[in-house]
Copies of this chain bind each other. A is one copy, B any other.
Amino acid sequence: MTRRRLRIGLIGSGFMGKAHAFGYATAARVFDLPFEPELSCLADVDEASAARAAAALGFARASADWRALVADPEIDVVNITAPNALHKEMALAAIAAGKHVYCEKPLAPLAADARAMAEAAEARGVKTQVGFNYLCNPMLGLARDMITAGELGEIRGYRGLHAEDYMADAAGPFSFRHEPACGGALADIGSHALATAEFLMGPEAGPITRVLGDCVTVIGERPDGQGGQRRVAVDDIGRAFLRFANGATGSIEANWIATGRKMAHDFEIYGSRGALAFSQERFNELHFYATEDRRGRQGFRRIEAGPDHPPYGLFCVAPGHQIGFNDLKAIEVAGFIEAVAGRRAEPFNFRDGLRIQTLVEAIQDSSRAGAWRDLP
């Protein structure tokens, strides 16, 4: 009855740091986990920040030195939610110390770095995870299961979108997300659209094999915070046409200046026997059209999330009550803990994270060249 503890070290305490902390707290209550996660240590940029965040988020200890955290023998898992540019160094150090590593997306700004990280983890034999939490939605699992089971028939077309408006204000200052190394909207949120596309289509249609990109910078300069303007080179909108291994085609759009859109991580999938439509703005619903429905009675049906769609039922026994964004994170956390225990494969490991980075770079490269690019 007394489960082994899994001692968590968290680096960073911003939006995603909090989401990780919430995720562990919820996962520990909702799931029957093989380990009892223990929030052991939180590292942040300085002692005061770290101590404050540790207290607020429930970590036992605080540290201003992520290297100490990574080396700490009292830590089993290192969670990295620090700025993207630091992911590689932190992850490699943690891997070297034999820790399991759970890194926020994107795994690294460059595919080459992501590759080094994936290979290091595999060589060392530690478990890894990259935080693509939208994939943890029971309704995405349902969609994938339906596709894999053939409920849509032969898959013929895919259209994905990730649109938000957090960069729509041209008066918003130049931030780390506008650094060339960060990659722009395609890397930041197009990565979600790509991950979802391969998650859903993969088992049936195979991976993406070719891309044709269209990445554009719309707001060419932003306030530099010192009274001047600074040039922006990364894309505000990133689009791509896609080819899947089975010949199915599709497209995605990533747009962080999509005025009015707060979380449009949407898709529509057309098969020979049915179709699916989904919007993250109403992510407890999946819309399903079946050609086998009786004539005159056909239509997209709004399936509401419920206990028939695991692991929804662990959160709530009644359908229609809905899970939230932080619950998606808890599902992600639980999946990783189960993988650490060897109960299941890693849900989305560094190799998967590298894959997304590879796709992003292929699209960026295609866009620059104005020509199709094959994926490895």
Contacts and interface: CB of A to CB of B under 8 A. Distances in A.
Contact of A253 (B251, B263, B296): B251
Contacts of A280: 320
Contact of A26 (B22, B57, B212, B260): B22
Contacts of A186: none
A279 B324 CA distance: 16
Given A26-B26, A251-B251, A326-B327, A289 B212 contact: no
A322 interface: yes
B257 A157 contact: yes
A362 interface: no
A10 B258 CA distance: 45
Contacts of A165: 270
B301 A297 contact: yes
A73 interface: no
A325 to B, nearest CB: 4
A5 interface: no
A262 B371 contact: no
A301 B304 contact: no
A229 interface: no
A261 to B, nearest CB: 7
A8 B320 CA distance: 29
A271 interface: yes
Interface stretch (A28-36, A40-48, A342-350): A28-36
B218 A157 contact: yes
A236 B248 CA distance: 12
A58 interface: yes
Nearest to A145: B296
Nearest to A305: B262
Given A28-B58, A32-B56, A296 B320 contact: no
A303 B308 contact: no
A275 B298 contact: no
Contacts of A358: none
Interface in A3-24: 15, 19, 21-22
Contact of A322 (B218, B260, B283): B283
Given A239-B241, A324-B315, A327-B326, A270 B257 contact: yes
Interface of A: 1, 15, 19, 21-22, 25-26, 28-30, 32, 55-58, 142, 152, 156-157, 159, 161, 164-166, 168, 170, 212, 214, 216, 218, 236-237, 239, 241, 249, 251, 253, 255, 257-263, 268, 270-275, 277, 280-283, 285, 287-289, 291, 293, 295-304, 306, 308-309, 315-327, 370-372
Given A239-B251, A263-B304, 6 more contacts: A22-B30, A29-B58, A165-B270, A296-B306, A322-B322, A322-B325
23 contacts: A22-B26, A26-B326, A29-B57, A152-B259, A156-B259, A157-B257, A164-B320, A166-B318, A168-B270, A212-B214, A214-B249, A251-B251, A258-B275, A261-B270, A261-B275, A262-B306, A283-B322, A299-B304, A322-B324, A322-B325, A324-B324, A324-B326, A327-B327
9 closest residue pairs by CB, A with B: A262-B320, A324-B324, A260-B289, A301-B301, A263-B320, A296-B308, A321-B325, A260-B275, A299-B301
